[in-house]
Amino acid sequence: MQDTGKMSMPADLISHMFTSVLPQEWLGYEARPGQLQLAMAVSRALDQSHLLVAEAGTGTGKTLAYLVPLLRDLDAGSRRVVVATATIALQEQIFAKDLPQLAQVWPVAVKVALAKGKSQYLCRWRLGQMVQLGLGISPREVDHLLGWAHQTQTGDLNEVEGLSRNLLGHVCVDDGCIYPRCPLEENCFWLQARRRVWQAQLIICNQHLLLSDIQVRQQTGGQSSVLPEYQVLVVDEAHHLPGVASEILTIRAEARKVGWLILEARRFSGHGLARGKLQELEAANQQFFASFCSRGTEAYLLDSVNPNQADDLLDGLQWLWEELDSLVFGDAEADLSERRERLKEQVENLRQTIAFIFTSTPGYVSWVEAGGNGLPSLNATPIAVAEHLRHHLFNSVEAALLTSATLATGGNFDYFKQNAGLETAVEVVVPSPFDFRRQCLLYLPRNLPEPESHDFYPQMVELLVDILEASRGRALLLFTSFRGLTAVFNGLSGRIPYHLLRQGDGAKASLLEAFRQDVHSVLLATASFWEGVDVPGPALSCVVMDRIPFAVPTHPVYQARLAAHRQQGKDPFWQVSLPEAAIKLKQGFGRLIRSRQDRGVVAIMDRRVFSRSYGNFLLASLPDCAVTSALEDVRAFFAGEGGPATGGDR
């Protein structure tokens, strides 16, 4: 952390905002002691230029808790702040809802900008080239895109719906952008957005963009960047940060990327680039990536693959680079010449990427992952990202806050700090304002078989019929696999009088809206539904988790992380597997109680929470609430809605 000796921020102003101004001026504002506690901690972090790690329980109002001291800091000084979230939903909520609403009661003159990656914006030059060359795109899609392009004021591709990923990949701003020598620079949507970001004091972005920025700075020796210089960093939904860093730092080669480069090269076919040779390169590309399909859809290590397997594709990419290098352009074709140089750079980067993946590099694991188009991707992922985050992110700012509702495991932040590269930090745990002992009952049935038993899901279905009868539907069923989801969906179909909604039968937003509207419906889901689902009120009165959410043990990156811990003499189960499962379990639990009026039951169907020695560790990560193993208590809870939860202590 950098020390600037910044003057102290008045603590009484922060307190005054939360105890007087907001309750009087913000319609519907509800004072919460934990919110003020977190705001004061953030204020001290800004004042003293230190790093703060804060877990803020559900309902704390953590976003407002850090925005108020941030705005006070910005109003008083010249530091720039970046707020990075994991989800687009929170990013847009802060920019479009929280900050404008706060500005109505506290009109601080601070310039704010929403930062997005350049691939989110339409490139007018590439659009014109696509229309000219065709590139095999559906005329209907092209007409739809052109109609939107003539009307849009922002060029944000998220505004236009119904377009394929393939088409968007051909018209977005890409790594071949020839800024600042583009002939359409004055009307470039991305450059307009970039200027707004560079002029802003407060920048709202996602964690992918934040980490892409430090990667670009590292790769270019600081000569280029995605974001302007900033001095204060807030990472919200911070439990995602190590995973996002691992994803950003993964070196990846995909058949689609090679295909895009070949299509880009077709722009130069009228200048001497042989179409026939491009077709041969495309065939080599398809053949190369198809050769990795024999292992099925599972991710697997690349260590058993012939290292010479990539030679034909590497030779083809080298040919393409040399052909592009040999092209000659006239004085009036400066933009094409610049495009050629950028394309050469992309081709060489991809060639080096593939070569790197096939080289055994210490600290990296090379692996194959199935692709959505039927062709796999090749990856080289760093086993640990802590040192990268420490050196390139946290050591370069004056003050930082990392916050989430799910950071602590086993009563401390050790696991998160170790993965995120945090050597020293001030730690704060702000409890939820909800009365979980009154509002929630935790049901741990003891009569189900082990999760690996072939009888587990059939018997779980029988128990669910009783639970859902008591809850009158109104339930979110969370699964660790689609196999389990499908088994329970099929088992419940026709057995209960409530509408069953299933992940995969529609977009996430559509499913959640249907779930909210049909109060007695039952939603079955996996993965992303374990967090980010906010359904306050009676429509969500029961959350059921089928198994302890341990990570997939066969994934190559996960296996490499476990192996690294073993080599260091550590127990990978207690140091990695269990803390990750505890965080995920806490996230699933957090779907239930979203307001002080909510009330419901959380059921964990995995008997290992009480039959294994680690069960107490997992249960200790959950809020303090009444616990029962008796179905009759569940029935009584729902029969007496409005009264306190009944059950014993853990």
DSSP secondary structure, 336-398, as one string: HHHHHHHHHHHHHHHHHHHHHHTS--TTEEEEEE--TTSS-EEEEEES--HHHHHHHTGGG-S
Order of strands, sheet of 81-85, starting from the edge strand that comes earlier in the sequence: 112-114, 202-206, 81-85, 232-236, 399-404, 51-56, 426-430
- The domains located in the chain, with CATH, are 12-111+200-247+385-430 (3.40.50.300), 118-192 (no CATH), 252-363 (no CATH), 436-639 (3.40.50.300)
Task: Give the pLDDT score at 163.
Answer: 84
Q: Is 327 exposed, middle or buried (0-12, 13-18, 19+ CB in 10 A)?
A: middle
Strand-by-strand arrangement of the 626-628 sheet: 500-502, 522-526, 475-479, 542-545, 600-604, 440-443, 626-628
Say which amino acid occupies 390.
R
**Token pair 């083809």 is at which residue?**
316
CA-only gyration radius of the chain, Å: 27
Q: Give Dmax (Cα) for the chain.
A: 84
Neighbours of 454 (CB within 10 A): 7
pLDDT beneath 70: ranges in the chain: 1-11, 134-136, 294-297, 304-307, 371-374, 641-650
Residue 48: Cβ within 10 Å count: 15
Q: 259-292: string of b/e by CB count within 10 Å (b at 16+)? A: bbbbbbbebbeeeebeeeebeebbebbeebbeeb
Query: Token digits for 233?
Result: 């960093």
Could you tell me the strand order of the sheet in which 251-254 lies?
A: 251-254, 377-382, 364-369, 300-301
Give the residue from 245, 241, 229, 242 showing the smallest Cα distance to 396. 229
Query: How do beta strands 251-254 and 377-382 pair?
Result: antiparallel
DSSP 479-527: ESSHHHHHHHHHHHTTTSSS-EEETTSS-HHHHHHHHHHSTT-EEEEEG
- DSSP secondary structure letter of residue 233: E
Phi–psi pair at 183, nearest 5 degrees: -65, -15
CA pair distance 634, 316, nearest whole angstrom:
65
- Both tokens of residue 443? 């049901």
Using the 8-state DSSP alphabet, how is residue 9 labeled?
P
Beta bridge partners of 364: 382
* DSSP H or E run through 631: helix 631-639
Token pair 């730092």 in the structure block, residue: 249
pLDDT one-digit tens code per residue, 105-140: 888 889 999 999 999 999 998 898 888 776 667 788
Task: Answer whether 641's CB lies under 8 Å from 650's CB.
Answer: no
Nearest to 299 by CA among 551, 572, 575: 551
50 with 395: CB under 8 angstroms?
Answer: no
Predicted confidence at residue 586, as pLDDT, reads 96
Contact yes or no for 465/488 (Cβ under 8 A): no
Tokens of 546: 């089928």
Q: Are 540 and 600 in contact (CB under 8 A)?
A: yes
Q: How far apart are CA 470 and CA 465, in angstroms?
A: 9
Cβ neighbours of residue 448 under 8 Å, at least 6 residues apart? 456, 459, 460, 463, 605, 607
What is the enclosing helix (H) or strand (E) of 416? helix 414-420
Kindly state the helix (H) or strand (E) to which residue 140 belongs, with its residue range. helix 139-149
Q: Are 538 and 519 in contact (CB under 8 A)?
A: yes
Which helix (H) or strand (E) segment is 320 a member of?
helix 311-326
Q: Can you read off the two tokens belonging to residue 282?
A: 């495309």
- Euclidean distance between CA atoms 38 and 65, whole angstroms: 6
Amino acid at 518: D
Q: 51 near 417, Cβ under 8 Å? A: no
Looking at residue 649, its pLDDT comes to: 64
The 10 Å CB-count burial string (b at 16+, else e) for 9-36 is beeeebeebbeeebeeebeebeebebbb
Question: Which pLDDT belongs to residue 449?
Answer: 97
Q: Residue 562, by phi and psi: left (phi above 0), alpha (psi -120 to 50) or beta? A: alpha
Query: Using omega within 30 degrees of 0 as the cis cutoff, is the peptide bond preceding 458 cis?
Result: no
Is 374 buried (19+), middle (13-18) or exposed (0-12) by CB count in 10 A? exposed
Q: Which two tokens stand for residue 121?
A: 């914006």
The DSSP H or E segment spanning 168 is: helix 165-171
The Cα–Cα gap between 583 and 74 comes to 33
Tokens matching residue 499: 């509408």
**Cβ contact 623:589 at 8 Å:** yes
C-alpha dihedral, 271 to 273 to 275 to 278, nearest 10°: -150
Q: Please name the residues in contact with 78: beta carbons below 8 A apart, sequence gap of 6 or more.
A: none
Strand ranges for 88-219 from DSSP E: 112-114, 202-206
